[in-house]
């Protein structure tokens, strides 16, 4: 888990890593030692919490770098909801979407059987469809990450700090 | 004040530092203890909060020669303490208001 944790830390911006990596690893090591004495479910929960915390944290830090300032990001409920609430709603939302997709596929198959009289199904098979969906989701996430990274490297965020030129009338 | 109300994790971190300076792991355990195990911060959440609090000058690092780099303590600044008091005052007012409204409804 520690090597995975170290790997996840690479998702953070360089400046953040220089400043906090040693501390975070040290704290994680101590917390992991505590978690070892707990039940299996507590250990799984610990790993999920840490992974989720790093993923959200890294994304947040990149957004801060692109936006140019951490001061614009407040400490209020808007941007720092407890990480315990989000996964539950995410899982629920994903389940609803997944159920909707399955129902739509069933409906499509029924319509096709009814009107195309024995032609092959619309989707080759469910595993293929799920695999393709997962692959598409990964590609989209990678693209978004790449765009954010490229924007950060290009220095676009510094545009927010540019002062307007004085009016040279004289 | 525009930065209030605070989130629960940030409030717990500030309360933890209000008592005495602490390093990351000590904050983590103290938050867990204060909330009776209900709030368990991940290191990502904790250091995200600490970074924002540092940037806002609500907390500062305690510079000690003998403390190792991976165990640097943090403490509240006067600004952080003032903001924490404001938040507690806001919550106290809210609790009082809620008690009055509930009592009125029951009556």
The complex scores an ipTM of 0.82
Least confident interval from A24-28, A160-164, B13-17, B50-54: A160-164
Chain B residues contacting A via beta carbons under 8 Å: 2-10, 23-25, 28, 39-49, 51-53, 55-56, 58, 69-72
Domain assignment of residue A101, yes or no: no
Q: Which of A153, A79, A83, A94 is nearest to B43 (CA)?
A: A83
More confident site: A102 or A3 = A3
Contact B56 A54 (CB under 8 A): no
pLDDT digits (tens, 9 = 90+) for A61-113: 888 887 765 554 444 444 444 444 445 566 666 777 777 777 777 777 777 66
Q: What is the pLDDT of residue B59?
A: 94
In a domain, residue B67? The reply is yes
Arithmetic mean of pLDDT over chain A: 73
The pLDDT of residue B104 is 81
Which chain A residue lies closest to B29 (C-alpha atoms)?
Answer: A31
Decide if B3 is inside a domain.
no
Q: Mark yes or no for CB contact B7/A71 under 8 Å.
A: no
CATH classification at residue B87 = 1.10.10.10
pLDDT score at B83: 92
Q: At what angle do helices A40-67 and B43-55 cross, to 10 degrees?
A: 30
User: Is A52 a member of any domain?
Assistant: yes
d(CA A70, CA A15): 13
Residue with structure tokens 């220095």? A155
What's the pLDDT score for residue B71? 82
Indicate if the alpha-carbon torsion angle A21, A63, B49, A71 is positive or negative.
positive
Task: Give the total number of structural domains in chain B.
Answer: 1
Q: Which chain A positions have a beta carbon within 8 Å of B4's beta carbon? A: 76
Q: Is residue A124 part of a domain?
A: no
Contact yes or no for A24 and B7 at CB 8 A: no
Domain-located, residue B80:
yes
- The span from the CA of A86 to the CA of A36, in Å, is 25
Higher pLDDT, B71 or A54: A54
What one-character DSSP code corresponds to residue B77? -
Which residue would you say has higher pLDDT here, A5 or A115? A5
Nearest-CB residue to B72 (from A23, A30, A84): A23
For chain B (length 107 residues), average pLDDT per consecutive 10?
A: 73 93 93 90 92 91 76 92 93 93 80
Q: How far apart are CA B42 and CA A30, in angstroms?
A: 12
Q: Quick check: is A167 in a domain? A: no
Q: What are phi and psi for residue B6, nearest 5 degrees?
A: -85, 160
Phi, psi of B77 (to 5 degrees): -90, 175
Tell me the C-alpha distance between A62 and B6, whole Å: 22
CA torsion angle A86 A87 A93 A97 (round to 10): 140
Is residue B19 a contact partner of residue B84, using CB atoms and an 8 Å limit? no
Q: Is residue A29 part of a domain?
A: yes
Structural domain containing residue A37: 1-83
How much is the pTM? Answer: 0.62
Reported as type and span, the H/E element at residue A69 is none
Please count the structural domains in chain A.
1
Residue of B84, B77, B61, B74 whose CA lies nearest to B22: B74
Tell me whether residue A145 is in a domain.
no
pLDDT at A130: 80
Cβ partners under 8 Å of residue A75, min gap 6 = B3, B6, B7, B10, B49, B52, B53, B56, B58
Task: Count CB-CB contacts under 10 A for residue B70.
Answer: 17
* Domain span at B68: 8-106
Q: How far, in Å, CA of B72 to CA of A45, rounded? A: 27
Q: What is the pLDDT of residue B1?
A: 38
């Amino acid at each position: 888990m520690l090597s995975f944790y170290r790997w996840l830390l690479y998702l953070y911006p360089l400046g953040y890593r220089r400043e906090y990596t040693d501390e975070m690893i040290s704290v994680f090591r101590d917390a992991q030692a505590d978690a070892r004495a707990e039940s299996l479910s507590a250990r799984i929960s610990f790993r999920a919490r840490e992974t989720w915390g790093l993923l959200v944290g890294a994304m947040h830090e990149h957004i801060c770098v692109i936006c140019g300032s951490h001061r614009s990001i407040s400490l209020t409920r808007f941007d720092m909801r407890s990480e315990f609430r989000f996964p539950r709603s995410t899982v629920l939302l994903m389940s609803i979407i997944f159920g909707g997709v399955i129902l739509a596929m069933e409906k499509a198959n029924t319509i096709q059987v009814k009107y195309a009289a024995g032609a092959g199904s619309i989707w080759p098979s469910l595993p293929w469809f799920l695999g393709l969906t997962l692959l598409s989701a990964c590609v989209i996430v990678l693209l978004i990450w790449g765009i954010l990274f490229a924007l950060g490297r290009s220095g676009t965020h510094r545009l927010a700090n540019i002062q307007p030129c004085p009016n040279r009338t004289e | 004040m525009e930065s209030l109300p605070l989130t629960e994790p940030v409030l717990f971190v500030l309360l933890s530092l209000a008592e005495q300076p602490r390093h990351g792991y000590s904050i983590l355990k103290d938050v867990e203890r204060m909330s009776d195990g209900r709030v368990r911060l991940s290191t990502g959440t904790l250091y995200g909060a600490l970074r924002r609090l540092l940037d806002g000058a609500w907390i500062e690092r305690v510079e000690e020669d003998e403390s190792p780099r991976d165990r640097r303590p943090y403490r509240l600044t006067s600004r952080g303490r003032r903001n924490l008091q404001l938040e507690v005052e806001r919550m106290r007012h809210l609790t009082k208001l809620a008690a009055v409204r509930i009592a009125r409804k029951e009556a």
